[in-house]
Amino acid sequence: MLALLPLFLLILCHCNNYVVVVSSLNDEGIALFSFKQSIKLDPEGSLNNWNNSDDNPCSWNGITCKQQRVVTVSIPNKKLSGFLSPSLGSLSELRHLNLRSNSLYGGLPSQLFKLKRLQILVLHGNSFSGTLPFEVGNLEYLRNLDFSHNFFNGSLPLSLVQCKRLRNLDISHNNFSGFLPVGIGENLVLLQKLDISYNAFGGLIPDDLGYLSNLQGTFDLSHNMFNGSIPASLGNLPEKVYIDLTYNNLTGPIPQNGALINRGPTAFIGNPGLCGPPLKNLCSSDSEVNPPSSLPYLPDNYPLQGGENVGGGRGLSKGTIVAIVVSDVVGICVIGLLFSYCYSRSFCCGKRKEDRGYGLEKGSGGRKECLCFRKDESESLSENAEQYDLVHLDAEVAFDLDELLKASAFVLGKTGIGIVYRVVLEDGLILAVRRLGEGGSQRFKEFQTEVEAIAKLRHPNLVTLRAYYWSVDEKLLIYDFLPNGNLNAAIHGKPGQFNPLSWSMRLKIMKGVAKGLVYLHEYSPKKYVHGDLKPSNILLQHDMEPKISDFGLGHLAHIAGGRGMVMEKHHRRQNSTSVSSEVVPTLTSVASSSAYYQAPEALKVLKPSQKWDVYSYGMILLQLMTGRSPLVQVGNSEMDLVHWMQLCIQEKKPLSGILDPSLIQETDKEEEMIAVLKIAMLCTQSTPDRRPSMRHVSDALEKLPLSCD
């Protein structure tokens, strides 16, 4: 027995030490360690440095503290498997919880909704199930709620409308059912994005959703079971919002007012009972489409001014009319004086600028004051800084900002719209990242609306926008990376670097680009015009299938402005050799200059049209056929490729003197080549009306056979 005493004392000592170690961790650390114990699988070792021997958890992976209190738990895309521990509810200062794209399961503990200061709750892309607890209404500071791509079910609790600071609500791709809570439109007036698609919501679409006047990106009710008619109140939504009501059980005429007037059919398809423009299904005589109206929607209980009976037939008295006219004249005069005053002040301020804003100016001949707004008084993103993070636009790709900025990056090229990087993440995923700039911080809403509209464009011949990042210092667009470079390099690349394109490969590229443009011109919600089509923004996949890039980029760059610094700062460690090794020199060569692809009318008309794109496409066809640059050397002079082709036709130059030398041997395709040259010359007509539409061009090309090499 005495022999066992040392062993007993050793065990006791060890246990005492263990207790001391555990007790050294503060309460928040113990709560987080309890969360770690609820994780069954951590294949990447993301929680390995969560040690109970630490004094606090502030140095742990994914944890951010302020004044030694945990404010952020962000562990996205780490393949964690387990359930959500109720202990997280004791992190009283927690503001940001991001567990996106893991394999977590089970229900949400009600303790989670005791976090009064929580602002961002992102659980996208897990396997959570069960209902959304009624206690969600306790999160009065919540701004971003993303439960998309899970297995939640049941109805939404009415208490959700108490989260009046919500700006982004995304519960798409779940099993929610029942009616939408009454009051979403009246209470959640700050919403900028509402996505409840791919659920089983039913009943009528609430009228009050038309009150969501701050929506900037998405209003997506698609793939549900809503029935009845489309409320006319939805016409009050901002016109730039992407409205999607597809694949429900909606019936009756589509209201023709406000934001609903100019929507394409793609916003309403999948509802067999709907009728009227823009659908081809005409309404019957007893259910005529609502006539267009510029009047705003008013609810039934909207108060009428003056208490007059609108239907009583009484008109305004002469005295009332005179009073209205006089007050209007006075009002116009006052507004004119205000404009004059403000202009004089702004002119004064424009003469005296300081680095950090505008100050007070005193003239030498007397006191002259400029009462100007300082720069830091203008609208900024500081109050919503946590809202602006890396935003994913596609559930198929999951990575966070830290992963992106820590990845290896190589410059692909520089253009007037910023730098393009090839970025390789740790898991091997390769992305193309375009930096836009560091200005335009007050235009986030405009940027968000535009970028989310572009992300909705999905076609086999368009590059997919996967994510974006916005901050005062940086604007990034993240796309798929295509391995075969761009068409400009394929045509004009150095011998040995690129194999000459065969005729069948060129024809495949021609047809693919035409199909992509037809989609942009005719089927995209906004009927997009590219406006800057050229070979350098036609990218090529492994199988040489073309994808058009940079559509909508000009407007985004105008919003963003300036140059960004974040990518440069994080990748400054890359040496010059590694950067230059990936540069494609043709990106900035004469062959890819935008000016040569712009239609002649671009010198007079600033707004691009679809016929601009047709002209640019014709230039690309000529390059594919001739292998020449847009500017051709003829003796001691130069002329553009279109005029060179016209000269060749006038001089009856043989086809062998026009074609790319690598095509001359494919003599059996001569008729097809001549047909393409004719199409190219039609597309590059100097008069826009004489150019065909891209639909006609695509149809003509489809008649040409596409043989395999």
- Marked catalytic residue, from 208, 220, 400, 532: 532
C-alpha 568, offset from chain centre? 22
- The helix (run of H) or strand (run of E) holding residue 668 is none
Q: Cite the beta strand spans of 39-109 per DSSP E.
A: 39-41, 63-66, 69-74, 81-83, 96-98, 103-106
Rounded Cα distance, 480 and 176, in Å: 32
For residue 165, count other CB atoms closer than 10 A to its CB: 13
Long-range pairs of 331-339 with CB within 8 A, sequence gap ≥ 24: none
**The pair of three-digit structure tokens given for residue 231, joined into one six-digit string:** 């409320």
Amino acid (one-letter) located at 315 = G
Which strand (E) or helix (H) includes residue 391? strand 390-392
**Residue written as token pair 């994780």:** 39
Distance CA 124, CA 140 (A): 21
Cα 547 to chain centroid, rounded = 18
Task: Phi first, then psi: give them for residue 422, nearest 5 degrees.
Answer: -100, 120
Q: What is the CA radius of gyration of the chain?
A: 31
Helix (H, G, I), strand (E, B) or coil at 27: helix
Tell me the C-alpha distance between 12 and 15, whole Å. 5
Is the distance from CB of 540 to CB of 505 less than 8 angstroms?
A: no
Tell me the HSE value of 578 on the side-chain side, using a 13 A CA sphere.
12
Residue 677 neighbours by CB under 8 Å, 6+ apart: 621, 622, 625, 645, 658
| One-letter amino acid of 613 | D
* Cα–Cα distance for residue pair 107/84, rounded to 1 Å: 8
Please confirm, yes or no, whether 532 is among the known catalytic residues: yes
Strands lying side by side in the sheet with 39-41: 39-41, 81-83, 103-106, 127-130, 151-154, 175-178, 200-204, 225-228, 249-253, 273-275
Cα gap 62→58, rounded to integer Å:
9
* Short-list 455, 471, 452, CA closest to 463: 455
Tell how strand 144-146 and strand 120-122 pair up.
Answer: parallel
Which residues participate in catalysis according to the annotation?
Answer: 532
